[in-house]
Structure 1
Amino acid sequence: MRVRVATTILGITAALLAVPACSTDTAPPARTEKPAEAARQAAPLSSATLETRLLDESDLGEGYLRKPERPSQHNDVTVIGCPSLSELGGDAATGGTLSFPRNAKADFTYGGSSSEVSEELYSDNAAKLSHGIDRIFDATTSCPTYQVLAGGTPIDMASQELPAPRGLGDEQWSQLLTFSTGDRSTVVKQTAIRDGSLLLIVSGSPALVDRHLDKALAKATTTS
């Protein structure tokens, strides 16, 4: 099955292909949430406020450089062999479910351009945030392997659900995506945490995601 979609927030982009290859051992997948807190509501934050809650170079430490913000692009990507992604359809299939008007994003390189990490913040009704990210993670991880054609280049994809980081926020998701072109393979970890009306997504080199996830959530949920 083929479906024409735009580049998604889940990393089907040339930028993510620049992350160097690496590997990780994982335990059986798990997604967690705190039922008692799931119903907690808070007023959505503005994009300007979200921008102030993003990590910056001083938070990350020596060796990190923020990448210039690129204009929004909707490069056509053909997805082959993942019916669940096709079934999302329309904006949902392209990541549009998370195209909320209140958002902010920052991309960083580490040690020159050898490793990358990105942070995305969204704010909206808690139920909308949860539903949007849940549908996309479920669809992606339901297909262990599939293929995308990006700009005419075939990319073999492998997805794996990872144990979600317990004790952070109200709901958590995590996955590992492997991009392979020829003899080159790139591994990207992506972890998402919803805390009330705020959604945090950290993506990039697995070691960098693990290193900065806690501080990203702490700054994103600050009330000062």
Structure 2
Amino acid sequence: MMRISTSGTRRRWMLGTAVCGVLITGCSSGGGDGGDAKPKAKPAAEAKPLDEGALRPLLLTQADLGSGYVQVQEEPGGEKFDDISVQGCPALEKLSQSGEEDMFAAKAQASFTYDRDATLGEEVHSDRPSVLSSKLRELFGAYTSCPTYTMTSGTTPIEVKVSKSVTPELGDEQFAYTSTMELPSGAQVLKTMVVRKGNVAVMLVGAPALVDRHIKTAVGKLPAGS
């Protein structure tokens, strides 16, 4: 498997996290048409978002992952990836033109390499549960609505195929898709999986086997009351 830079992996996630405009049908409850309906109870207050400082201890560590993993240190500023564009998927085309990269109240992130060839990136996001739920549904609805599209990096077109993936029964909601990128050096497969638990959502992106192997551990680090 060809190695992909961790900042590039994060960029592919960020190309999805600002998606807007996908129609999501929310759950609602209403009284009947009768005149004897009881007054609606005041809804319980939603859990408030955690800040970045509270999210950092929730990230996976080398001790959690086991041997063979090396954490990649973030460089100040990082890569901007301004030369990446998307064609053939209207929702992602709109997203790639947007400068917005943070769609939740707070996040923390970590990146790892495994045996020098594979990568595993993690992001932990926090916001009110209703915000996390609706925006994650928008994001994954947009990505899985485009089975194929073209991503251009500089002058190099990269064909991308996307398919929904099976998710484990963890947390309150789960979302996953697998993307296959036809690079000049060969096909590269990445899996993106998110599990929401209350007001916190954990996302893993990287080699499918690594994502599947560590998602349960990542979710297990989330607060019981989140």
Contact 1:95 1:136 in 2 (8 A): no
Matched, 1:135 2:138: yes
Greater shift in the superposed pair: 76-85 or 189-198: 76-85
SS in 1 for 2:13: coil
70-79 or 168-177: bigger deviation: 70-79
Q: TM-score with structure 2 length normalisation?
A: 0.74
**Structure with the greater alpha carbon radius of gyration:** 2
Cross-structure match for 2:65: 60
Q: Does 1:196 align with 2:201?
A: no
Give the conservation status (yes or no) of the 8 Å contact 2:15–2:95. Answer: no
Give the direction of change, closer, same or farther, for the CA distance of 1:150–1:89 in structure 2 (3 Å limit).
Answer: closer
Match of 1:82 among 81, 89, 92: 89
Letter aligned with residue 119 of structure 2: E
Q: How many aligned residue pairs are there?
A: 189
Q: State yes or no: 1:153 paired with 2:159.
A: no
- State the distance in 2 between where 1:67 and 1:139 align: 30
Deviations 1:164-220 (A, max 9, x none): 222x11111010011112351100011101111001101111111111100101112
Q: CA deviation at 1:222?
A: 5.1
In structure 1, stretches of 5+ residues that fail to align are: 1-6, 13-34
C-alpha distance in 2 between matches for 1:210 and 1:63: 16
The alignment-based identity, stated in percent, is 35
Note the alpha carbon deviations across 1:31-68, whole angstroms, 9 max, x for none: xxxx9xxx993221110111111110111111111001
How is 1:95-114 mapped onto 2 (pairs within 5 angstroms)? Answer: 96=101, 98-111=102-115, 113-114=116-117
Q: 2:100, 2:180 → 1: CA distance?
A: 18
Classify 1:114/1:88 alpha carbon distance in 2 versus 1 (closer, same or farther; 3 Å): closer
Residue 86 of structure 1 deviates from its aligned partner by: 3.4
CA distance in 1, matches of 2:86, 2:95: 12
Calculate the aligned-residue CA RMSD, in Å: 2.7
Question: Which structure has more RCO (C-alpha within 8 Å, separation ≥ 6)?
Answer: 1
CA contact (8 A) 1:41 1:196 kept: no
Residue 9 (structure 1) aligned with residue 13 (structure 2): yes
Corresponding residue of 1:19: none
Q: Distance in 2 between matches of 1:40 and 1:219?
A: 24
Distance change >3 Å, CA 134–CA 100, structure 1 → 2 = same
Mark the runs of 5 or more structure 2 residues left unpaired by the alignment.
1-10, 17-27, 29-43
Q: 1:84 deviation in Å? A: 3.0
Q: Give the conservation status (yes or no) of the 8 Å contact 1:8–1:95.
A: no
Contact 2:197/2:222 (<8 A) preserved: no
Partner of 1:22: none
Could you say if the C-alpha distance between residues 88 and 65 of structure 1 is closer, same or farther in structure 2, counting changes exceeding 3 Å?
closer
Q: What per-residue deviation string (whole Å, max 9, x for no partner) do you get for residues 52-109 of structure 1?
A: 1111011111111100113344322221111232356864xx673x433411000001
Q: Does the Cα contact within 8 Å between 2:85 and 2:93 map onto a contact in 1? A: no
Deviation of 1:162 (Å):
1.1
Q: Compared with structure 1, are the counterparts of its residues 89 and 119 closer, same or farther at alpha carbon in structure 2 (3 Å cutoff)?
A: closer
Q: Could you list the per-position Cα deviations for residues 100-131 of structure 1 after superposition, in whole angstroms to 9, with x for gaps in the alignment? A: 341100000111x2111111001111111122
Aligned equivalent of 1:211: 213
